Amino acid sequence: MRRLMALLATCATVLGLTALAGPQAAAAAGCKVDYTVTNQWQGGFQAAVKITNLGDTVTGWKLGFAMPDAGQKLVQGWNATWSQSGSAVTAVGADWNRTLATGATADVGFTGTFTGANPKPTAFTLNGVACTGSTEEPPPTPGDGTPVDVNGQLHVCGVHLCNQYDRPIQLRGMSTHGIQWFSKCYNNASLDALAKDWKSDLFRIAMYVQEDGYETDPAGFTGRVNSLVDMAESRGMYAVIDFHTLTPGDPNYNLDRAKTFFASVAARNADKKNVIYEIANEPNGVSWAAVKSYAEQVIPVIRAADPDAVIIVGTRGWSSLGVSDGSNESEVIDNPVNATNIMYAFHFYAASHKDNYRAAVSRAATQLPLFVSEFGTVTATGGGAVDRASSTAWLDLLDQLKISYANWTYSDANEGSAAFKPGTCNGGDYSGSGVLTESGALLKSRISTADNFPTS
């Protein structure tokens, strides 16, 4: 990283701004701060602080404010480096959230103590500039401005996912965990947070077929999927209906179940613009020829009811284009599925799948329409530490190639890939920074940056 140049320090001094001792620190041309006391008890409280950058991109930020009452003391904070001197409190961005693009947000927070009153601070600065930005939403563009309203019915054009204006777009969002285990995580409050606070474009609904899933109650699981599709639609998000085959790995084992399920959900949701069908999550231990045969039998079932929706086809080797089985993308390129308006799934876990997988995606993206319908920031087990460097390299690549993605998982599972801390889904707070894991905070910071959906 480059050192802070003397010129920048000089400019900051001239403008009367507080220059940070970090690389590329910059003034914030405009900002707003939302401060919320999320919990309070005798002598103590917890506060969530949401910073929104309304100006140019800021790399290296410091939030400042004063505690209004002498009895208020900072105890500890998260998602930033916190300190207090007298009444003055500062929070300096961490390595992973230190850059705020225009419209991007940083969710931080802290716990504190108080004696007497506990008033809220009202004046905030970002890199020395007062945060006086309006809390009003920007004027919407077309309609209400939701991803579905702007982009309408999606389709595949060339190697891209395209909107109603025939322009390539990228969708960014989150995947559920198995809805048979984490159903309590998916409700009005959590989807409100995903759509409004995370500004997510899509919501992937992972319906396991085995493992206490669909096969145990076909009607019940079909109804639950349809309900979640409706919830996503009402919030302007695209919904990926994921037929989550994993064990056994041959999707043909579930061919009849797939035909029954997709005939039902396609007929029911055919008039919706927000539905994408994912017909086989992670084929494994099976040839590409077998996966292709399955796809060419299931796709016509969907098309009979819903001729327009995009369909995602899983690939060999846990949807790795065969890379995890020692093959590569050429098997799909040389023998594609005989169908139109389809995309091919690619899944990765950043701590396990690195340069050779990224190279395969870079090559394949020139010839195949790809959709990263599942990925994690950790190992392929779903656990372990977040690999920030590999996760960032992956996300930058997907942004560059305009490949849509859904992160695993929007849940409070006790594993590194979960976005929420264990126990979060037992309560009602899904938007505060204090409930996010390291993975959740990283993904929220990427997903919540402004979309750039072309309309002409």
CATH number of the domain within which 380 lies:
3.20.20.80
Instruction: Report yes or no on 453 lying in a domain.
Output: no
Please indicate, yes or no, whether residues 267 and 364 belong to a single structural domain of this protein: yes
**Could you tell me which residue, 211 or 139, shows the higher pLDDT?**
211
Please indicate, yes or no, whether residues 57 and 176 belong to a single structural domain of this protein: no
**What is each CA distance from 8 to 4, 28, 58, 92, in whole angstroms?**
7, 13, 13, 18
Instruction: Report yes or no on 87 lying in a domain.
Output: yes
Please indicate, yes or no, whether residues 258 and 291 belong to a single structural domain of this protein: yes
Give residue 9's pLDDT: 35
Kindly state the tokens that stand for 48: 């969530």
Cα 246 to Cα 282: distance, rounded to the nearest angstrom: 6
- Structural domain tally of the chain? 2
Instruction: Report yes or no on 10 lying in a domain.
Output: no
**What is each CA distance from 139 to 55, 73, 142, 146, in whole angstroms?**
16, 39, 10, 12
Kindly state the tokens that stand for 21: 């001792």
The lowest-confidence range among 24-28, 309-313, 314-318 is 24-28
Given a cut of 70, is residue 59 above it in pLDDT? yes
Instruction: Report yes or no on 221 lying in a domain.
Output: yes
Taking only the tens place, the pLDDT of each residue in 188-234 is 999 999 999 999 999 999 999 999 999 999 999 999 999 999 999 99
Please indicate, yes or no, whether residues 60 and 154 belong to a single structural domain of this protein: no
Given a cut of 90, is residue 301 above it in pLDDT? yes
Residue 160 backbone phi and psi in degrees, to 5: -115, 160
Q: 393: closest CA among 440, 422, 427, 357?
A: 357
Last residue of a domain, one of 130, 160, 191: 130
Please indicate, yes or no, whether residues 193 and 313 belong to a single structural domain of this protein: yes
Q: Which amino acid is at 361?
A: V
The lowest-confidence range among 87-96, 300-309, 429-438 is 87-96
Asked if residues 56 and 411 have their Cβ atoms less than 8 Å apart, the reply is: no
Please indicate, yes or no, whether residues 179 and 289 belong to a single structural domain of this protein: yes
Instruction: Report yes or no on 5 lying in a domain.
Output: no
- Residue 426: CB atoms within 10 A of its CB come to 9
Please indicate, yes or no, whether residues 241 and 180 belong to a single structural domain of this protein: yes
Given a cut of 60, is residue 144 above it in pLDDT? no
Cα 24 to Cα 100: distance, rounded to the nearest angstrom: 12
Give residue 164's pLDDT: 96
Angle at 310 between CA 453 and CA 239, to 5 degrees: 70
Last residue of a domain, one of 72, 95, 130: 130
pTM: 0.71
Please indicate, yes or no, whether residues 110 and 187 belong to a single structural domain of this protein: no
Instruction: Report yes or no on 86 lying in a domain.
Output: yes
The lowest-confidence range among 5-19, 272-286, 325-339, 343-357 is 5-19
Asked if residues 29 and 52 have their Cβ atoms less than 8 Å apart, the reply is: no
Chain centroid offset of residue 257 CA: 30
Residues with active-site annotation: 282, 374
Q: What percent of the chain has pLDDT over 90?
A: 72
Please indicate, yes or no, whether residues 184 and 284 belong to a single structural domain of this protein: yes
Asked if residues 174 and 409 have their Cβ atoms less than 8 Å apart, the reply is: yes
Given a cut of 90, is residue 50 above it in pLDDT? no
Averaged pLDDT for residues 438-447:
96
Average pLDDT, the chain: 89
Please indicate, yes or no, whether residues 180 and 152 belong to a single structural domain of this protein: yes
Kindly state the tokens that stand for 291: 């996966």
Look up the domain containing 85 and give its range.
27-130
Instruction: Report yes or no on 93 lying in a domain.
Output: yes
Averaged pLDDT for residues 298-316:
97
Last residue of a domain, one of 80, 96, 130: 130
Asked if residues 261 and 226 have their Cβ atoms less than 8 Å apart, the reply is: no
Give residue 7's pLDDT: 32
Q: Which amino acid is at 281?
A: N
Given a cut of 50, is residue 294 above it in pLDDT? yes
The lowest-confidence range among 1-15, 115-129, 222-236, 249-263 is 1-15
Name the pLDDT band for 29 (thresholds 50, 70, 90).
Answer: low
Please indicate, yes or no, whether residues 211 and 239 belong to a single structural domain of this protein: yes
Instruction: Report yes or no on 399 lying in a domain.
Output: yes
> Residues 6 or more apart from 450 whose CB is under 8 A from it?
101, 102, 103, 104, 199
Asked if residues 435 and 405 have their Cβ atoms less than 8 Å apart, the reply is: no
DSSP letter assigned to residue 193? I
**What is each CA distance from 100 to 195, 196, 212, in whole angstroms?**
20, 18, 42
Please indicate, yes or no, whether residues 207 and 81 belong to a single structural domain of this protein: no
Averaged pLDDT for residues 158-171:
96
Given a cut of 60, is residue 314 above it in pLDDT? yes
Cα 194 to Cα 174: distance, rounded to the nearest angstrom: 8
Query: H-type helices in 270-349, by residue range?
Result: 288-305, 316-319, 330-334
Q: What DSSP string describes 346-378?
A: EEEETTT--HHHHHHHHHHTTTS-EEEEEEESS
